[in-house]
Structure 1
Amino acid sequence: SRGLGRLDRKFGLAIDNLLSADVVTAEGDLVHASESENPDLFWGLRGGGGNFGVVTSFEFRLHEVGPDVLTGRVIHPVEAAPDVLRFYRDFMTDAPDAVQCYAAFTQVPPLPEFPEPLHGQTVLVLVPFYVGDIESGRAALQPLREVGDPIADTVQPQPYTVSQRSSDDIYQEGHRNYWKSHNLEGLSDEAIETMVEHATPIPSPFTTVFLE
C-alpha cells in the first residue's frame, strides 16, 4: 500500500506524492482528506490499506520524466547469484537517487529478446533503471551491467510508458497472481545465502522472487 516503483529513490513512494483524496467512509459520508483537512484520515490512507473507506478520487503530485529512460534486464546464471547480489547490495547503498535497480530470481520467459537456449532456465536478473540524461545513465548503470559475466543484457533507452509495460508478457491479463512480501533490516550475507537456497530452482514460469 506504500507504492514502490522505479522512481521511488528520486521522487519517493506513491504515498509521499499523495496530496489529497475523496473518501466515502463506513458511515456513508463523502469527505475530503489532506494534510489540512481530516489530517488523521489522510495519515491513515497513506499506508493503511483498505481500512478507512472507499476512495473515489486521488490527487497526486506529478513529476516530469523522460520521455525516455534507460532500463532493461541483465541476466546472470543462478550459480553467480551470491557474488552478484553482494555487489548489488554494496553498489545500491551509495547509488545516486536517479538510479534504481531490483533483483529477481525467475525463469527466462520465451520471448525473442532472450536467447532460446535460456528459455525456462532459473536465473538471477538485475533490472537497472535510470531517470535523467541518457548518457549520464549509461555511465551510472555501467557497474550494474558489468558485474560478473552476464549471459544477456537488454538495457537500452526506451519511453517510460514502455518500461511500465515491460512485464506484461510475463504476468498476463487474467492470471490470478498472489504476492507476499517481507521487510529486512538489511541484505546480509546470510540473508543472501538463504534466499539463494530457497529461491532456486524457481518452480514455475509464473513464480518470481523479487528483491527491492
Structure 2
Amino acid sequence: MPNLSNQLELNRCPHCNVDRPNLPLAWHTQTDSHSGGSTRFWRVYKCTSCGGLVTAAAIQNVGPVTEYYPSGMVIDGSIPGAAGEYLKQAINTLHAPAGSVMLSASSVDAMLKEKGYTNGSLYSRVNKAVEDHLITSEMARWAHDIRLDANDQRHADQQATLPTEADAKKCVDFAIALGEFLFVLPARVERGLAAAEGT
C-alpha cells in the first residue's frame, strides 16, 4: 500500500482505470472514535484525468494507507482464461471507451464459448443460452445491446456514435455480472458444499 502523502500513488485510478494516475491531495482531516481512540488520518485525492475522488486513510499521519475508497474492480479468479483476461483489459481501458466495449464483448463471447456455445454468431449463441436456461431473457437483452455496440465499433459503422465512458462502464458491468452468474457463484457453491461435507 502507498503512504498517505500529498500524492496518492496507485497503479490505476479506481474510477477511470487510467494507468499511473495523477492523484494530488484535495482535502484532509483526522477522526477519532466516540471515546477518543481509533485515530485515523484521512485524505481525499482528485484524479486529474477523470475528476473522480479517492479517499484514503492511515493510522499515522503520512503513514502507510490502511484503506482507500473506492477500491476499484477486481476480477475473480473463477472467471476462466481468455474471458477473465478480456474482462481485465476491458476494465483497464475504461478511459478508452471504444476499445473497452469491444473487450467486454470479447469477454462475454469467451464466457459463452467456455460453456460450450461455440456455433454461430454471438447473437445466436446468446439466444441458445436463453433457450437452454443458462441465462435469463433479461440478461440476453442486455447482452444484445453490448454485442451491437461492439459490432458498431469493429465494423466502423458510420451511422454509429462513439461510445462514452458511461457506455463502456455499462458493458463492463454486464460482463462482470455474467461472469459472476456463470462462474463465480457456482465456484462458491462448490466450495461451500465441499466445506460442509468436510465437517
TM-score for both structures, normalised by structure 1: 0.27
Bigger RCO of structures 1 and 2 (CA < 8 A, at least 6 apart): 1
Richer in strand (by share)? 1
Structure 2 length normalisation: TM-score?
0.29
Which has a greater percent of helix? 2
User: Larger radius of gyration, structure 1 or 2?
Assistant: 2
